[in-house]
Amino acid sequence: MSKGLPETRTDAAMSELVPEPRPKPAVPMKPVSINTNLLGYIGIDTIIEQMRKKTMKTGFDFNIMVVGQSGLGKSTLVNTLFKSQVSRKASSWNREEKIPKTVEIKAIGHVIEEGGVKMKLTVIDTPGFGDQINNENCWEPIEKYINEQYEKFLKEEVNIARKKRIPDTRVHCCLYFISPTGHSLRPLDLEFMKHLSKVVNIIPVIAKADTMTLEEKSEFKQRVRKELEVHGIEFYPQKEFDEDLEDKTENDKIRESMPFAVVGSDKEYQVNGKRVLGRKTPWGIIEVENLHHCEFALLRDFVIRTHLQDLKEVTHNIHYETYRAKRLNDNGGLPPVSVDTEGSHDSNP
């Protein structure tokens, strides 16, 4: 891996000069590859263990945003994903008091622990999205919120005396809930995803998938994928960020089966002697974690068990860097951050 390593050896010429002990700092040569297995164990591979210990001590942050019209099962799905009451469902549905007049952004944080790994999970809910009669520009508050988080991080990073660990409130993943109409995407869906796929990782999911049969499901998915492609909307995992062939084949498989058609539930029922999460209907019990019934397990494995770290990295290395470059470059392309974030900036941990 000789990426970016200059091959010059600057020191040889210097010693012929007048005795002035100020040579140019020596620059490393092209690395020589040495296979050490032949000569004995050194112990370099222990660094993996060292790293793991370090990361477990510091803990992780993960911020997930759910966007979709009310009643699509967002809170239930998040609760099912993280197997706990992470979101409080809009159980009492009183029309006057429940639909906000504008899109609200509600971020609630929790600390969950599993296997010694501590995670600070923040679920960002967007009640009011798509619920008005006139939904023009209802993605703007969401885009603004996402950019505000980038701005906060940038401000922290750019400080002279900065914290050891900059608190990460950036949205790592945005689950977009598609209504299971069976036809195609709605204009609102397209507009939202078009605007936001450039600033955040969007994972589209088909909500309440138990209303579709298997054929309807696969046709709908195909149509949705086609439409997204036609409109140039890249959802996560984005094709352009595949690092190598291995990544590409793995991600291609996932992309082919997205958007995942999911069913959420936090109630348990007895099926075949086991207790499973499911939905009880007159015609049967829909098992949430059964791959024949719905693709919840795929979504869970994808988001949590294999690509959690990657979601964070793409957010940090790509979306954040894009924001930062734009901000530092023209400093006028983006609107100045509003006053209320300045105020709450001080009160943040």
* Binding residues for other proteins restricted to 156-195, rule: CB under 8 A: 158-162, 164, 169
Give the whole-angstrom CA distance, residue 99 versus residue 101.
Answer: 6
Nearer to other proteins, 214 or 325 (CB): 325
155, 186, 194, 195: which one contacts other proteins (CB under 8 A)?
A: 155
Residue 279 interacting with other proteins (CB under 8 A): no
CB atoms within 10 A of CB 186: 15
40, 232, 333, 335: which one contacts other proteins (CB under 8 A)?
A: 40
Residue 50 interacting with other proteins (CB under 8 A): yes
Residue 19 beta carbon to other proteins: minimum distance, rounded to whole angstroms: 4
Nearer to other proteins, 119 or 225 (CB): 119
Nearer to other proteins, 228 or 311 (CB): 311
Burial classification of residue 132, based on how many CB atoms lie within 10 Å of its CB (0-12 exposed, 13-18 middle, 19 or more buried): middle
32, 133, 245, 339: which one contacts other proteins (CB under 8 A)?
A: 32
Helix axes 187-196, 140-157, angle to 10 degrees: 10
DSSP 200-240: S-EEEEE-SGGGS-HHHHHHHHHHHHHHHHHTT--PSSPGG
Residue 286 beta carbon to other proteins: minimum distance, rounded to whole angstroms: 17
Give the whole-angstrom CA distance, residue 180 versus residue 185.
Answer: 9
| Contacting other proteins within 316-345 (CB under 8 A) | 316-317, 321, 324-325, 327-329, 331, 340, 344
What are the C-alpha distances in Å from 55 to residues 10, 114, 118, 164?
Answer: 39, 14, 10, 14
| Contacting other proteins within 84-113 (CB under 8 A) | 84-86, 102-113
CB atoms within 10 A of CB 67: 26
What the block records as the tokens of 313 is 């990295």
Residue 42 interacting with other proteins (CB under 8 A): yes
Helix (H), strand (E) at residue 47: helix 46-58
Residue 154 interacting with other proteins (CB under 8 A): yes
Residue 198 interacting with other proteins (CB under 8 A): no
Give the whole-angstrom CA distance, residue 279 versus residue 286.
Answer: 5
90, 99, 131, 144: which one contacts other proteins (CB under 8 A)?
A: 144
Residue 5 beta carbon to other proteins: minimum distance, rounded to whole angstroms: 6
Residue 245 interacting with other proteins (CB under 8 A): no
Residue 248 interacting with other proteins (CB under 8 A): no
Residue 39 interacting with other proteins (CB under 8 A): yes
Strand 60-67 to 117-125 pairing: parallel
Binding segment for other proteins (CB under 8 A), chosen from 52-60, 171-179, 205-213, 217-225, is 52-60
Residue 270 beta carbon to other proteins: minimum distance, rounded to whole angstroms: 16
Residue 348 interacting with other proteins (CB under 8 A): yes
Q: What is the sign of the dihedral through the CA atoms of 248, 208, 300 and 149?
A: positive
CA atoms within 13 A on the CB side of 16: 3
